[in-house]
Structure 1
Amino acid sequence: MKPLAIGLDFGTESARALLLDLERGQELAVAVEPYPHGVLTHRLPSGAPLPPLWALHHPADYLQVSRVLLQKMRLEAHQSGGTVVGIGLDATASSPLPTDASGVPLALKEAFRYQPHAYLKLWKHHAAEPYAQAINQAHPGFLQMYGGKTSAEWSLAKAWQVLEEAPEIWEATARWIEVGDWLVWQLSGEEVRSSCQAGYKAHWQPEGYPEAAQLRALRPGLEGWLDKLAWPQPVGQKAGGLSQAWAQRTGLPAGIPVATASIDAHAAVLGVGVQESGVLVAILGTSSCHLALSPSACPVPGIAGIVADGILPGLYGYECGQPASGDMLAWWVRTLAWAAQEPEQAVFERLNLELSQRTPRPSGLLALDWWNGCRTPLMNASLKGVLSGLSLATDPPQIYQALIEATALGTRWVKETLEQAVGPLPRVVVTGGLSKTPAIVQILANVLGCEVEASATPHASARGAALYAAMAAGLPLPPAPAAQGFTPNSGAYLELYPSYRSLAEYFGFVQSKEVKS
């Protein structure tokens, strides 16, 4: 029977499963399940209110959607005449949750169901920002591979928040674990951490986690975080076999390999078929994540993470990003939809149609893509967006195009930053929601001045998770689907970049210094 792998992709609003034929590389089936409780931003399921900037998940939701999705994939596998040989998964990060020593989330215990800090803190939980700033101001040595800064979205700042604001929860926490690693634990019965999640989100490097003395210097007691972690293993390895309990729940064979977990964006690198250095992979969604591989580590300011075995065993994975890409476009669409009282999707389609029909030339406006701060290379979450060149003749599609150009210009800055560390990146591959709009990818190619390949798979992260399952099962990887190439068709875009950098220099350096003074 033909070998099949299941990739589970746990996102922010829902989880996705993909069934992959490992002989032909064909994606046989896809299923999506929303989380029953959704994202908890205003109150807990009990009704207890949440403060501003909180974003939580109910851990039971992950178990429920996993069961449903695996059952669906088992039925699809049976109908296709194949057999499932492995399961891989990816998840958002840093999305940690506190559990007891056996892996039971504190939020599922009656004593803690009314306690917000007992729940899973989603990646976009930003209430830990004061603790992230305290870490950054101390300039600890363990930030060398992270551009010199940590983030409120990462594990340590969130752990410090619990220690400070809910010491009783921290005391009851035996394991502080990323949701992807926790799911591996649930499926296999083995607590196996991932070098991807630990490296990029918990400051793990081959020599270890931050030293206890460094954490104690930040805040006495914070060194206890280390006791709640575990040594990670590279991605693509077998963490364990599917437990008998989960085999009974899903109908899948007990003992099939469950791979170590990955971060969702990082799994997309393998999902689009990239396994070598010299390639920039950009996941263009609500935010953008830019990733590259290299045989060596070379810290450069502005690069958010460099991790050994973080994306593929034997290579260093480099991570950069832009915190607002699709979100900027969604902001403009919401504004127009509110004014016109039209559905947002109709406005999106209208703007994209107008964009595709316009002559391939710059909008005439210039924007800084900092609607949610700047991650790479300035690593300053307090920076704000800029839109310049407006006149009474400016129309809505022109502003829409300027925001797309801003993302493309920011991507070029990211690419140049990465090239300082890993060398030339002559090949660019994109995936994610924005890559499905040809006019957007064309503008990116024009700004970068090189060909851009848009991956054909609509589920790059889930496909990557399935490929990690194949690696864990010891099977060869199938070929990647063909990509569509976009070559530059307007040299006028190249003139935008110096202006963008000048504007960024003023508002990112000069203006921010004036505000601080």
Structure 2
Amino acid sequence: MVGGADGPTLLAGVDIGTTHTKAGVYRPDGTPVAQRQAATPSDADGLRATALRLLAECVSAAPAPPLAVGVSSMAETGVPLDADGDPIGDLLHWRDRRAHREAHQIGETVGRAPFFAATGLHPSAKLPLARWIWLRHHDPDRTRRMARWASSADLVLAALTGTLATSPTLAARTGAFDIRAMAYAPDLLDLAGLRPDQLPPVVAANRVAGRTTRAVATRTGLPAGTPVVLAGHDHLAAAWAAGVRGPGRTADSMGTAETVLTPVAAVPAMPAAPTGISVGPFLDGRSYCLISGLSSSGGLVDWWLERFAPPGCPDRYRWFTDLLGTTTDPEPTGIVVQPYLHGRASPQPDPHRTLSFHGIRPEHHLADIGRAVLEGLCMQVRWMLESQATISGQRPETVAVFGGPTASPAWMRIKAAVMPVPVVVLPEHRSAVLGAAQLAGRAIGVQDRTPTSPPPRPAAPPDAAWETAYRSRFLPLVTTPAPPGS
């Protein structure tokens, strides 16, 4: 069924992000019909209720019911479920760092190289595997009662359909999934005292994972039996919406955190030195992707605004935009920022690396310091991109940039000046919500059109002043070992 007498062809998407939960209804070409968002709750019941409410609002505003629903989410956040499918305790969030000792234990017990060879990941406190081990030691009753694990997207799927399943791209972020065998690794799960049957079955993004129940139909306005598809990791779903759908393209997904993503045909040989770059399955079911993360991107800007925006300011982002001005041809400030609010994950992992400002002079103003924050974030993203290009052996012709921070004109001007290749800044609606909707359509045979991108900027070679700022000031600073105790 592709529309017709019953109305236009429409598809719905839901994305559970770190900061916001979003829902939308779209035409297959990506045109928005209805979109809603709200703050992401910190508890599983609130998360499910918010997702269904936003979806119901979008369905109510659309001229016809969507033919399918796709669900994506942040990767490592989830919750144990009991035998009745009810959450046990609070969500275990990817930003929770309590399991850092358990992550170190994984590296020591398994070996960092064998662990990476199996999972494509590096031991980290944000991995569910590390937090399951932590639970086993610190909250054994919760571990004993755990019948299943559910990621954020899995919770929404279960709420819509009564079926619990997960996506390969989410399973691959648990730390207990073999990316070549495409199956859970019993030996890794054994570290946490868990079995493969306690993890949800894996359903690819080109298959229907479940169908809406009658109760959900009443609650949301969706017809009972509407297909629901797991679009998986939200950064990958957003890349799909941006047209980054296979090798040869690179995506820069911006939000509270920022991710650089490069699809590759096969798992590449990795350098002997740690890079922090992870490898996982891509959404097409055939290729893989390199992923580098910056844990505080929009989050660092929020941190800065909390400290420097005027007290009682009704719109900090508007104030920030006005502060930075409308310079169309920005020059480097001369201030170098190491943008590591929560350590550095890639391309040279250093969990103890801290946020720092260098080169502030008496003539600098608050606007210069704010601009320098954006410069540091953009230079860090360039470093991640160039590291991926070295590993993949492919230099992208352009980089697709998308996400909430693209609304900042100053940030996008600086990014265009810093990056080594032209950037294509995509409209805000080309995000994980749209990607989830398009992947849902793909699973039921509705083909979306290849996105039409705006012209890249800039088309000229990189400016010499920015090259000097990046290569002669930023890189030497961030690659020099930090002093002990810094």
Q: Residue 126 of structure 2 corresponds to which residue in structure 1? A: 153
Change in CA separation of 1:197 and 1:299 when aligned onto 2, cut-off 3 Å: farther
Aligned partners of 2:256 and 2:54: how far apart in 1?
24
Aligned partners of 1:380 and 1:253: how far apart in 2?
50
Q: Residue 307 of structure 1 corresponds to which residue in structure 2? A: 280
Match of 1:121, SS? Answer: coil
Q: Residue 479 of structure 2 corresponds to which residue in structure 1? A: 505
Aligned partners of 2:14 and 2:57: how far apart in 1?
12
Match of 1:411, SS? Answer: helix
- Deviation string, structure 1 residues 151-189 (Cα, Å, up to 9, x no partner): 222210111111111111111111012121232233223
Match of 1:224, SS? Answer: coil
One of 68, 74, 89 as aligned partner of 2:71: 89
Q: Residue 181 of structure 1 corresponds to which residue in structure 2? A: 154
Match of 1:237, SS? Answer: coil
Q: Which amino acid aligns with 1:372?
A: H
Q: Which amino acid aligns with 1:440?
A: W
Match of 1:324, SS? Answer: coil
Q: Residue 383 of structure 2 corresponds to which residue in structure 1? A: 413
Aligned: 1:25 with 2:10? no
- Deviation string, structure 1 residues 302-334 (Cα, Å, up to 9, x no partner): 2432122x3332111221111222222223222
- Report the identity percentage: 22
One of 358, 373, 384 as aligned partner of 2:354: 384
Q: Which amino acid aligns with 1:244?
A: R
The Cα of 1:71 is off from its aligned counterpart by: 2.2
Change in CA separation of 1:457 and 1:211 when aligned onto 2, cut-off 3 Å: closer
Aligned: 1:293 with 2:255? no
2:13–2:435: 8 Å Cα contact kept in structure 1? yes
1:299–1:306: 8 Å Cα contact kept in structure 2? no
Could you list the runs of 5+ residues in structure 2 that have no partner in the other structure? 1-6
1:281–1:430: 8 Å Cα contact kept in structure 2? yes
1:93–1:154: 8 Å Cα contact kept in structure 2? no
Aligned: 1:331 with 2:303? yes
Match of 2:76, SS? Answer: coil
What is the count of residue pairs matched by the alignment?
A: 470
Match of 2:122, SS? Answer: coil
- Deviation string, structure 1 residues 72-130 (Cα, Å, up to 9, x no partner): 222223xx2x3411000111221121112342223xxxxxxxxxxx2221222222222
Change in CA separation of 1:329 and 1:104 when aligned onto 2, cut-off 3 Å: closer
The Cα of 1:238 is off from its aligned counterpart by: 1.0
1:271–1:467: 8 Å Cα contact kept in structure 2? yes
One of 432, 442, 446 as aligned partner of 1:475: 446
Change in CA separation of 1:365 and 1:4 when aligned onto 2, cut-off 3 Å: same
Aligned: 1:318 with 2:290? yes
Aligned partners of 1:148 and 1:398: how far apart in 2?
37
Q: Residue 49 of structure 2 corresponds to which residue in structure 1? A: 64
Aligned partners of 1:183 and 1:196: how far apart in 2?
16
Q: Residue 169 of structure 2 corresponds to which residue in structure 1? A: 196
1:239–1:260: 8 Å Cα contact kept in structure 2? yes
Aligned partners of 2:55 and 2:199: how far apart in 1?
28
Aligned partners of 2:133 and 2:183: how far apart in 1?
15
- Deviation string, structure 1 residues 417-468 (Cα, Å, up to 9, x no partner): 1112222222101111221223212211221232111001335111111111
1:269–1:311: 8 Å Cα contact kept in structure 2? no
Change in CA separation of 1:69 and 1:213 when aligned onto 2, cut-off 3 Å: closer
Could you list the runs of 5+ residues in structure 1 that have no partner in the other structure? 39-56, 107-117
Q: Which amino acid aligns with 1:84?
A: P
Change in CA separation of 1:195 and 1:210 when aligned onto 2, cut-off 3 Å: closer
Aligned partners of 2:101 and 2:280: how far apart in 1?
26
Aligned: 1:446 with 2:417? yes
Match of 2:382, SS? Answer: helix
Change in CA separation of 1:380 and 1:231 when aligned onto 2, cut-off 3 Å: farther
One of 236, 239, 244 as aligned partner of 1:269: 239
The Cα of 1:274 is off from its aligned counterpart by: 1.9
One of 10, 18, 26 as aligned partner of 1:12: 18
2:278–2:292: 8 Å Cα contact kept in structure 1? yes
2:176–2:185: 8 Å Cα contact kept in structure 1? no
Aligned: 1:99 with 2:81? yes
Aligned partners of 1:313 and 1:211: how far apart in 2?
19
The Cα of 1:358 is off from its aligned counterpart by: 7.2
Q: Residue 3 of structure 2 corresponds to which residue in structure 1? A: none
Higher deviation after alignment, 356-365 or 384-393: 356-365
Change in CA separation of 1:148 and 1:462 when aligned onto 2, cut-off 3 Å: closer
Match of 2:324, SS? Answer: helix
Q: Residue 460 of structure 1 corresponds to which residue in structure 2? A: 431
Q: Could you tell me the TM-score, scaled by structure 2's length?
A: 0.89
One of 58, 61, 66 as aligned partner of 1:73: 58
Higher deviation after alignment, 277-286 or 407-416: 277-286
Higher deviation after alignment, 157-166 or 269-278: 269-278
Match of 2:71, SS? Answer: strand
CA-based RMSD: 2.4
Q: Residue 46 of structure 1 corresponds to which residue in structure 2? A: none
Aligned partners of 1:320 and 1:334: how far apart in 2?
27
Normalized per residue, the structure richer in helix is 1
Aligned partners of 2:162 and 2:286: how far apart in 1?
27
Q: Which amino acid aligns with 2:429?
A: P
Q: Could you tell me the TM-score, scaled by structure 1's length?
A: 0.84
Aligned: 1:365 with 2:350? no
Aligned partners of 2:164 and 2:120: how far apart in 1?
30
Change in CA separation of 1:66 and 1:329 when aligned onto 2, cut-off 3 Å: closer
